[in-house]
Structure 1
């Protein structure tokens, strides 16, 4: 029986600890994998049920926001030119767009390679795969339109200095120097890391900024290819006439998209489900 005046849900104090200390321990205990899985699955069901307009505008906003990853990185590179280790420092700029997108709860395609797929895997209702494809199509299209708008701003607005514009071009050329196979393989790594980021966020209350920065900095440092952030670079280099549309589509877009899906859905989702399957089905 609970003591008089104590809440029925309040934990009994453990030996050597006060009631408040015991409560703090329970609140800070790491979430089980099955709990994290369920949190993300419920979020996925919510996203799958959203209407076209809500998904579209959120995805468009994310495409524009992610452009600040490219711009921030270019600004740092231009500012730090000639400084030892400038490239490693400038890579922190890549984190900016992801921080905006994730903390503002905007729709990013690569997050949904995990979130939208988990409800289908749990229910084993493969007809629901059409709902996943619908969400993917809307979000990816919205992201790309936002990327196009931001790339056009960089290319034509005159709002950035020639030094920053040169850095944007250098970043874009560096990415487009990858072969299609390299785009695909590096895309797998980026897809896995973004899915891992989504998996980590439910357990990261109060440290979200650090976790997002860490994971996206690794993507930048490893030159891993991300279908949305990379689209700003690819579209920019196409708009200024240095790459053809077909080179951008076939050399970057298709292999990177397939790589991100392979890393986020085929690999991370399957492994994540395997580790919690017995608990979910038990």
Structure 2
């Protein structure tokens, strides 16, 4: 066998044997490591922690208003679709619309922030970072909630939608406060877990980000899991139309949902996913 034939039959043994184009193709096809995903989200979290209070507030207000479409679109679909056993499967798709606007528009949603700013805190714990995380949470949560009350007030007190659609809005919203405290809390844990997982998946999603958002939030809607911001549109709408009281809003919805979302996002996603990459990060720090 001549040298030319031997070289042609010998497989490439390392990356050095690949052309530049082939190495780019390999890099494109390879999945990013958990450590790379962590560092991508952590770097974003560092930037968010340093944003001004005004910027966070305005972004939070925008997110609270945008998430209202996760309530409006399902109600419109409920009016348009026949009353069948599979209606819920289609109306749940409407729930994804608000999240698509918020996430792709880079608006500040509280449940996303149970992961993004927490990773810098876990990576380098300090009182300053803890203060920045609490500051971000307070501003974003408050602005999100204020915006949901404004949005639901427009739905309740203006003729922007006909009575049939408003009745569908009320029907869709009643599930928000239909469960006991601990049931709502557990449903909120699942919602917080899924939304934080969605954020964790985004850096590896590339052009598929909209599909990730739709799939994850569709599961939240299908399972009727409790989300503090989207649910606030529903619960405050019930308060506006007299179907619930402020006490109902606070005790049956807000408190259990907030606690559950935070537990699902911080404990189940931020801490566990940080734990899996912590040894690699420590090795990097020592090298």
Residue by residue over 1:77-120, the C-alpha shift from the partner in whole angstroms, topping out at 9 and shown as x without a partner, is 11103245111111000000000000000000000000011101
1:122 has 2:153 as partner: no
Aligned with 2:95: secondary structure? helix
Displacement of 1:145 in angstroms is: 1.1
Contact in 2 for aligned 1:12/1:19 (Cα 8 Å): no
1:44 has 2:24 as partner: no
Which of the pair has more CA radius of gyration?
Answer: 2
- Tell me, in whole angstroms, the C-alpha distance in 2 between the residues paired with 1:24 and 1:164: 51
- Residue 202 of structure 2 is matched in structure 1 by 201
Give runs of ≥4 in structure 1 deviating > 2 Å: 11-14, 18-22, 81-84
Aligned residues: 269
Residue by residue over 1:206-242, the C-alpha shift from the partner in whole angstroms, topping out at 9 and shown as x without a partner, is 0011000000000000010000000000000001011
Residue by residue over 1:1-29, the C-alpha shift from the partner in whole angstroms, topping out at 9 and shown as x without a partner, is xxxxxxxxxx7553xxx643431221231
Residue by residue over 1:191-211, the C-alpha shift from the partner in whole angstroms, topping out at 9 and shown as x without a partner, is 000110000000001001100
Residue by residue over 1:10-68, the C-alpha shift from the partner in whole angstroms, topping out at 9 and shown as x without a partner, is x7553xxx643431221231000000000000100100000011000000000000000
TM-score, normalisation: structure 2: 0.91
Structure 2: unaligned runs, 5 residues or longer: 1-14
1:8-19 equivalent positions in 2, closer than 5 A: 12=16, 14=18, 19=20
- Tell me, in whole angstroms, the C-alpha distance in 1 between the residues paired with 2:26 and 2:172: 46
| Segment of structure 1 superposing worse, 121-130 or 35-44 | 121-130
Displacement of 1:176 in angstroms is: 1.1
| Segment of structure 1 superposing worse, 154-163 or 100-109 | 154-163
Structure 1: unaligned runs, 5 residues or longer: 1-10
- Tell me, in whole angstroms, the C-alpha distance in 1 between the residues paired with 2:152 and 2:116: 28
1:1-282 equivalent positions in 2, closer than 5 A: 12=16, 14=18, 19-282=20-283
- Tell me, in whole angstroms, the C-alpha distance in 1 between the residues paired with 2:207 and 2:128: 38
Displacement of 1:183 in angstroms is: 1.1
Contact in 2 for aligned 1:74/1:167 (Cα 8 Å): yes
Contact in 2 for aligned 1:68/1:96 (Cα 8 Å): yes
Displacement of 1:128 in angstroms is: 1.8
Contact in 2 for aligned 1:120/1:126 (Cα 8 Å): no
- Tell me, in whole angstroms, the C-alpha distance in 2 between the residues paired with 1:112 and 1:137: 11
Contact in 2 for aligned 1:99/1:212 (Cα 8 Å): yes
- Tell me, in whole angstroms, the C-alpha distance in 1 between the residues paired with 2:169 and 2:54: 32
- Tell me, in whole angstroms, the C-alpha distance in 2 between the residues paired with 1:209 and 1:13: 37
Aligned with 1:225: secondary structure? coil
Displacement of 1:279 in angstroms is: 0.3
